[in-house]
Chain A
Amino acid sequence: MASLSLKNVCKVYPNGFVAVKDFNLEIADQEFIIFVGPSGCGKSTTLRMIAGLEEISSGELWIGDKMVNDVEPKDRDIAMVFQNYALYPHMTVYDNMAFGLKLRKVPKADIDKAVHEAAKILDIEHLLDRKPKALSGGQRQRVAMGRAIVRSPKVFLMDEPLSNLDAKLRVQMRVEISKLHQRLQTTIIYVTHDQTEAMTLGTRIVVLKDGIIQQVDTPQNLYNSPNNIFVAGFIGSPQMNLIDAEVVQNGSSVTLKLSDTVSIPLPAEKSKAIIDGGYVGKTVVAGIRPEDIKDDEEFVAKHSNTTFEAQVKVYELLGAEANLHYDIADVTCTAKVSPRTTARPGDTIKFAMDVSRLHVFDKETEQIITH
């Protein structure tokens, strides 16, 4: 178990490609931290730098109280689980788990103890004599995890370990990994491009784009208070509706004109932030999550000053909820509504939005103005 500290870490490849830029992060002992972002954002490169598989171009990496920039991967006391795992087909589960330790010339008795302990944690003791071909997908994944656990590392590094599994198994393994973190009580750094995985597993999430940290926060804070348009759009599914809006001032209050027919008055606090920021008369970006726009009578009555009419283009029933897609000023928007809605494609219906949940972003810098 250990804390980690990344100070101004950069990765520039010899061909000039900047993969990670000025990465600063403190990871507490026993934390489950997630690196999330689109492909090419530098999340795997950062993980590989922590592992020692990529050299750090500049900056410092500390594991515990030791700077490890020049320490070999095998001496960093870490273990990794990567996406493209393979089990040695001719070896039993026991031998598969023991192989890494044998390579490191760990005494037989210690290997035996480590393998049995890891197997117990993963609940695969009964499978130790089996060969990989006799295992299910989930069991194989657990063996792959077991290979990392037997090393009893200070830090676990996982790079999209579930991305090769089918959807059902993925959900199952997600729960298993969460349980594993509770049992092992160790630091885990987990890379994924799947924001559902990020939201459900992490104690904190690091959102990355173009090698730069966009925001580091708890899943809830990321969802409720995104720092910029990228985070707002990346976290949440369906993604946040982001619409250009003209700022119109009426005395001390502000109205956002989303289109010729849709204008939304803002509450006093949000109005003040926009006026103080000098955005009156300018174009900003309004962001609202699909679940904060509804069509049911009760909601519309409660938010009567933010109603607008739009024609439903697509209706998607997801069981417990339904998504309605419609346009506001040529931008396709989504509303997550009750499955009992009667709205169907072609219908023009009245929506309302919970303006207290509306976010306003600077159009140029893409940074938040007010939540």
Chain B
Amino acid sequence: MISNQILQTTVEGLKAISRIDFCVIDSDGKISAKTFEDVQDCIADALAFMDSPAESQVINGYQFFKVYDEQNLEYILLAKGTSDDVYMLGKLAAFQIQNLLVAYKERFDKDNFIKNLLLDNLLRVDMYTRAEKLHIETDVKRVVYIIETKHEKDTNALETMRTLFAGKVRDFITAVDEKSIILVKEVKGNETYEELDKTAQVIIDMLNTEAMSSAHVAYGTIVSDIREVSRSYKEAKMALDVGKIFYSNKNVVAYSRLGIGRLIYQLPIPLCQMFIKEIFGGKSPDDFDDETLSTINKFFENSLNVSETSRQLYIHRNTLVYRLDKLQKSTGLDLRVFDDAITFKIALMVVKYMKYMESKDTF
């Protein structure tokens, strides 16, 4: 059903153009929208008109019209006045509202279709027939973005997204849960991943500046058929998760650029536990103090360069060497040696992944 607000805007708009008062009454006899006050007096006439076989009628200075939705009576429209002009404008208004019903239904159906498509709830044969009915092309390139805002049910963010993409009839904005907004975007022939990244940045900046919401955006790979849209959605979901675990300083994460995080994310937890036990014995990397952890991170950031790391940490070179020696004693891994460094780096990532999965299970 169309919201009363939309109907009110419509009748107000029609009045502004024609200077004729209108009122819309639903099939239960409730007033949905009006541009004049003394409507209550007309309700009884409207109910009587509903039962009559006539398509339009003039009663007590008002013209009455029926508005159908696929042969079901949805509304009665009243136009104030009895002249031919009022009749013509009343017919036009009824036609306009009927079309609004069709457009709304189509939009609702499209939204439902896209949701089911993303969640893989459609049989392949249904997918194509329903897409055809809804005038959604099946063989165009698309990509799925997931936009996660800091707060759940962020209506400002949803409104900003809808407005930003309102002009693009081939893109769809929807939501399958309260945490995130989903954008299924058509990709033009020559559009590259760089441009998809740019779109993600625009989304972030627009949500920041307009809705004042902080957001993370993840997107899947480009798919070329409608049946693959759910794959792009799953990829985007995974990218969002991997981003949260390993790339928390990034606002935009692309599935195609997940790097080593992608591999670790797919490891079974028992295997991870075995690996961590092998590397750290009974210890956990959490046992390292903040100073040691920041030293390790800086050392990795600077590609195992002792001079540069000590300079950036404002410590003497020998202090850094001492810290690395101490770490070697406790773990058996010398971070200055490439093989040991990579083992340690992966172990730290695995621990992060295990912690994330643990926290997910807790909720």
CB within 8 Å of B: which residues of A? Answer: 13-19, 48, 51-54, 72-74, 79-86, 88-91, 99-100, 103, 147-148, 210
Contacts and interface: CB of A to CB of B under 8 A. Distances in A.
A210 B311 CA distance: 11
A51 B167 contact: no
A182 to B, nearest CB: 23
Nearest to A75: B212
Contact of A73 (B212, B248, B294): B212
Interface of B: 156, 159-160, 163-164, 166-167, 198, 201-202, 204-206, 208-214, 246-249, 293-294, 297-298, 301, 312, 352
Contact of A19 (B198, B249, B294, B312): B249
Q: Which of A17, A48, A210 gathers most chain B CB within 10 Å?
A: A17
B166 A90 contact: yes
A18 B294 contact: yes
Nearest to A80: B209
B209 A82 contact: yes
A84 B201 contact: yes
A191 B293 CA distance: 30
Contacts of A72: 212
Contacts of A53: 208, 214
A111 B167 CA distance: 23
A19 B251 CA distance: 14
B208 A82 contact: yes
Contact of A15 (B202, B248, B294): B248
Contact of B202 (A16, A54, A80, A86): A86
Given A53-B214, A103-B211, 12 more contacts: A15-B246, A15-B248, A15-B249, A16-B294, A17-B249, A73-B208, A84-B201, A84-B206, A85-B206, A88-B166, A90-B166, A99-B210
* Closest 10 pairs between A and B when the two form their complex, measured CB to CB: A82-B205, A90-B167, A73-B212, A84-B205, A53-B214, A13-B249, A74-B212, A84-B201, A89-B167, A16-B297
Nearest to A12: B294
Given A73-B214, A100-B210, A15 B204 contact: no
B237 to A, nearest CB: 19
24 contacts: A14-B248, A15-B247, A15-B248, A15-B249, A15-B352, A16-B293, A17-B249, A18-B297, A73-B208, A73-B214, A80-B208, A83-B201, A83-B205, A84-B206, A85-B202, A86-B164, A88-B163, A88-B166, A89-B167, A90-B167, A91-B163, A100-B209, A100-B210, A148-B209
Given A84-B204, A89-B167, A210-B312, A13 B248 contact: yes
A85 B209 contact: yes
Given A16-B294, A82-B205, A88 B249 contact: no
Contacts of A91: 163
A18 B295 CA distance: 11
A17 B250 CA distance: 11
Contacts of B208: 48, 51, 53, 73, 80, 82
Contacts of A79: 209
Contacts of A51: 208
Nearest to A211: B312
A184 B204 CA distance: 27
Nearest to B201: A84
A48 B248 CA distance: 15
Nearest to A91: B163
Nearest to B157: A103
Contacts of B160: 99, 103
A156 B127 CA distance: 49
Nearest to B206: A86
Contacts of B294: 16, 18
Contacts of A80: 208-209
A90 B166 CA distance: 7
Contacts of A100: 209-210
B167 A103 contact: no
A142 B84 CA distance: 49
Nearest to A131: B167
B163 A99 contact: yes
A100 B164 CA distance: 12
Q: Which of A14, A17, A84, A85 gathers most chain B CB within 10 Å?
A: A84
Contacts of B293: 16
A273 B196 CA distance: 56
Contacts of B214: 48, 52-54, 73
A90 B312 CA distance: 50
A211 to B, nearest CB: 10
Q: Which of B211, B249, B297, B301 gathers most chain A CB within 10 Å?
A: B249
Contacts of B163: 88, 91, 99
B106 to A, nearest CB: 18
A19 to B, nearest CB: 6
A17 B297 contact: yes
A99 B212 CA distance: 12
A16 B345 CA distance: 12
A147 B202 CA distance: 15
A54 B211 CA distance: 15
A79 B214 CA distance: 14
Nearest to A90: B167
A90 B209 CA distance: 19
A16 B156 CA distance: 32
Contacts of B297: 16-18
A19 B208 CA distance: 20
A48 B209 CA distance: 11
Contacts of B212: 52, 72-74
Contacts of B249: 13, 15, 17, 19
A57 B294 CA distance: 15
A147 B204 contact: no
Nearest to A76: B212
Given A16-B293, A84-B202, A103-B159, A147 B352 contact: no
A14 to B, nearest CB: 4
Contacts of A210: 312
Contacts of A86: 164, 202, 205-206
B205 to A, nearest CB: 4
Nearest to B246: A15
A103 B164 contact: no
Q: Which of A13, A14, A15, A73 gathers most chain B CB within 10 Å?
A: A15
A148 B209 CA distance: 8
A15 B159 CA distance: 32
Contacts of A19: 249
Contacts of B167: 88-90
Contacts of A18: 294, 297-298
